[in-house]
Structure 1
C-alpha cells in the first residue's frame, strides 16, 4: 500500500439486535466476559478484544457508535494514521474523527471513518508508552 504498512486487524465490535442472546451464546463458548460494563461485554482474545454492544437506531448520529460493526486497523507508524485516514476519505468513506493523539488504554495516534457500507473503521498506531496521558 502506498504510504502505510498494515500491521493488524484488531478489536472487532458488533452492535447486535439480540444482544442478550448473543452474550449468552458467546459466554457459553468463551467463558465469562473480561469486560462487563453497562452497555457492553468484551472477551479478550489474545492481544485483542471481541466486544458486543446493543444495537443502535436505524441511522446513528455522526459522533455515535455505528449501527452494526466496527474494527480497528493498526499501522506501523503514527504518521501512517493520517495517510490511511486520507486514503479512506478519498475512496468515499465519511469522516468521524480526524487523526489525533489520544489515550485509549495506551497512548496512540487515532482516527475514525465510516465506510460506505455502514462499518466503522478505527485507524491507529500506538505511541511510546512514556508519552504522558494526552
Structure 2
C-alpha cells in the first residue's frame, strides 16, 4: 500500500516541471552531470538541461541564482527509474563520476516498498534514486 500525498485544497497541481541547480563551478558540474546523464537535451547560453521523465533538470552558474558566490545547500530531489537494477546502476554511475555515497541501494519502505539509494553530488545536492517494488 503506497502513501499518496493529499492534493492541496487550494490548487490543482499537476506536477513539477523543472529542478534548477545553481553552482559555483559550472564547468565541473556540467562535466559531472554529463558523465552520468549524457549530453544535455537542452542548451542555451549558460543553461543546460536534461529531460528526466516529465521533469527537466537544469544547470546554471551560481551568479544567476540566489547565492551568486556559492553552491546549493540543503537541497534534495529524487529520480525514479524503471527497474530496481537501474537504482544500483545509476547510483554507481554517480559514484564513478565523483559523488559521495549517502545511502547504499537497498530494498526499504519509504512511502511504499522500494529499491532506494542516495548520493551527494560534489556541489551540495543530495540525489535520491528509487524504484517502487511491486
Question: TM-score, normalised to structure 2's length?
Answer: 0.48
More strand by share: 1
